[in-house]
Amino acid sequence: MAFQMNANAAFPLKSVLIANRGEIACRVIRTAKAMGMRTIAVYSDADRNALHVKLADEAYPIGPAPARESYLVIDKIIATAKAAKADCIHPGYGFLSERAEFAEACAAAGIFFVGPPPSAIRAMGLKGEAKALMAKANVPVLPGYHGDIQDPKFLKQKAYETGYPILIKAAAGGGGKGMRRVDKQIDFDQALEAAKREAEAAFGNPDVLIEKYVASPRHIEVQVFADTHGNIVHLFERDCSAQRRHQKVIEEAPAPGMPDDVRKHITQAAIEAARAVNYVGAGTVEFLADGSQGLRADAIWFLEMNTRLQVEHPVTELVTGTDLVQWQFKIAAGEKLPLAQEQIRLHGHAVESRIYAEDAARGFLPSTGRLTALRFPGGNGIRVDSGVEQGGEVTPFYDPMIAKLITFAATREQAFDRMSEALGGTIVSGPRSNVEFLHALTNSPEMRAGTVDTGYIERNLEALTKPGEADFAAAAAAVEKLMVAEQAKQREALRLLPAAVRRSPWSAEDGYDFSGARDIPVAVLVNGERVTARVFQRGDALKASVKGAASEPCEIVEVGDLLVAIRNGRQTKVKLAESSALDLGRAGGNGAIAAPMHGKVLSVSIAKGEKVVKGQRLMVLEAMKMEHALDAETDGVVAELSVAAGDQVSEGAQLILIEAEKVKAK
């Protein structure tokens, strides 16, 4: 279908099918409904009760849980759109959003594709070809090899010529998948094999490229928009330097420490990049900057162009006062850009934190399960984009994002203060989450100073993920509430007994016999640590202390048999010790290797009866399209091997048992 339309005609898009799930599907649905469009969701078997399904006007099943059998099947999406009589398809981000053949399939079916033309997707889809194109357009690119030759020996030579350290990167995708840093040539072969395998799994294309590694890199990107009438604008820049595993964690707009002349240089380069591929729609041009001496125009290089909406687009919306999804719909319908360049102004500062179901203290392993509690703060300057709700499931089949928490204020300092407070009031229970890690990162001196580079989190991982000491004054307040509840239960139980029994000298008025002054020890878990709280009863007053700290006023939220006490931006979790459950995070002791998360066994490197040494690679698991290696924690012999390559495993399941080698008597 042609992208050009009569700009004076009535807006033709009356219905939209969202070919996605989770947070971005919910985000698109909200804007589409505000524009009066009928919204159509699709869902896999795992998403039958998902939030985006509930929000849409209509919803249709498209297959089994694995994305390759549902969300990635073009024919199913097109057939559903035709059956639902959708005028257009919005691809969101991820999945099919950067697949040129999907855009072509939409056109062949007579359905508008809310995205760029297939030619632009292809031009920017392969990083090597894109960088060659950018070089011709005089957009600065990093040294390296971006060609088609994929012979391992040839790539190894190109890495040597580029000079170590280098990055091996998937040619057909992003998000850190298929990416490996290599510091020495001796490590190149193994890194190349792993990068190609991961690239094939994530993007269906094992090709890679080689790039020079920048020592103090900052990740700066520019939001661009173009229409079918030849107009191209930028909506300023974002800083996405706070990353782990090459995936963005906290983003902000505008970039801290951005001089006006450098901003002019980088935004103009982004526009030229879009112009070089005759771009249409929303796109993000990403740059790598050497931040060792501040941002300079001569130390910024083109990285890649994402031909879709970005996860971090809300920070741009807040500092420019726009709705970028609305812009996408208007441009897809052939309208001109809503604003000219001189009408787009930058005001205030916005910060976004990505809240994931993952365990930061255990290498950011994905976590799954039912969200028994989910609460976000509200108020002025706080926005939450979420694709799940309390009671919903985080499954092992997709990206484990829970929500994006975004704050906005007049200044950068105020925006970060607001983010710190908002994270302190966010509660996620069920799967593990990275909220405490985000809170620590938000308040780190380097983040507050705006000097974080892409390697900062990795260099400071221990400090950022180390649990701080519990707030024992808040814990004491939670203990008081627990004891009041226990007293009420005991009194109700006694009330139901016969009167003669209630008056028996052997029956107390309540479960703890608080008829006079009492001092009772109570075993509780405070953030998982078993401690003894002291509970004091003086008449009708009940007070508690934990580790010598008396209770202080705080907000307390009930999550099942767990209480979460919130004070000064910190969360303290308290429950009676007797009701504690096994911490699967500690499973795997005594030579047992347990699955750290739900996932699929990609490879097994050992056999039953084989001798292994500490640090030896045992197997590789895949979860959320990322590989996770399991290594031996001790020397010994493989006594049990419970799985094989291709098996699906559950978090906490024993996979391998290693026993100490028996010494034969002489």
| Phi, then psi, of 190 in degrees rounded to 5 | -65, -40
In DSSP terms, which residues pair with 292 in a beta bridge?
A: 294
Residue 292: DSSP 8-state: B
Q: If DSSP codes are grouped into helix, strand and coil, which group holds residue 281?
A: strand
Phi-psi region of 538 (alpha: psi -120 to 50; beta: other; left: phi over 0): beta
Q: Write the CA distances from 571 to 73, 252, 342, 544, integer angstroms.
A: 43, 25, 45, 18
Show the tokens assigned to 525. Answer: 């878990």
Whose CA is closest to 553, among 446, 477, 472? 477
Three-class DSSP labels, 100-164: HHHHHHHHHCCCEECCCCHHHHHHHHCHHHHHHHHHHCCCCECCEECCCCCCHHHHHHHHHHHCC
Q: Write the CA distances from 147 to 126, 193, 332, 443, integer angstroms.
A: 10, 18, 33, 42
Contact partners, residue 301, CB within 8 Å, separation at least 6: 140, 141, 142, 287, 288, 289
Q: Write the CA distances from 283 to 229, 305, 475, 615, 630, integer angstroms.
A: 16, 7, 48, 43, 38
> Which amino acid, residue 523?
A
In DSSP terms, which residues pair with 404 in a beta bridge?
A: 354, 385
Distance CA 407, CA 306 (A): 24
Distance CA 356, CA 190 (A): 30
Question: To which residue do tokens 């007293």 refer?
Answer: 487
Distance CA 460, CA 66 (A): 35
Contact partners, residue 485, CB within 8 Å, separation at least 6: none
**Residue 325: HSE in the Cβ half-sphere, 13 Å Cα cutoff:** 24
User: Which residue pairs from 26-30 have beta carbons closer than 8 angstroms and sit at least 24 positions apart in sequence?
Assistant: 26/51, 26/52, 26/55, 26/385, 26/386, 26/387, 27/325, 27/385, 28/90, 28/92, 28/325, 29/55, 29/56, 30/55
Write out the H or E segment, with its range, that includes residue 616. Answer: none
Contact partners, residue 142, CB within 8 Å, separation at least 6: 131, 211, 212, 214, 288, 301, 302, 303
Phi-psi region of 253 (alpha: psi -120 to 50; beta: other; left: phi over 0): beta
Of 180, 244, 308, 567, which is the active-site residue? 308
- CA dihedral (513, 516, 517, 519) in degrees, to 10, reads -10
Contact partners, residue 230, CB within 8 Å, separation at least 6: none
Does 418 participate in catalysis according to the annotation? no
Contact partners, residue 264, CB within 8 Å, separation at least 6: none
- CB–CB of 60/78 below 8 Å? no
Q: Which residues are catalytic?
A: 308
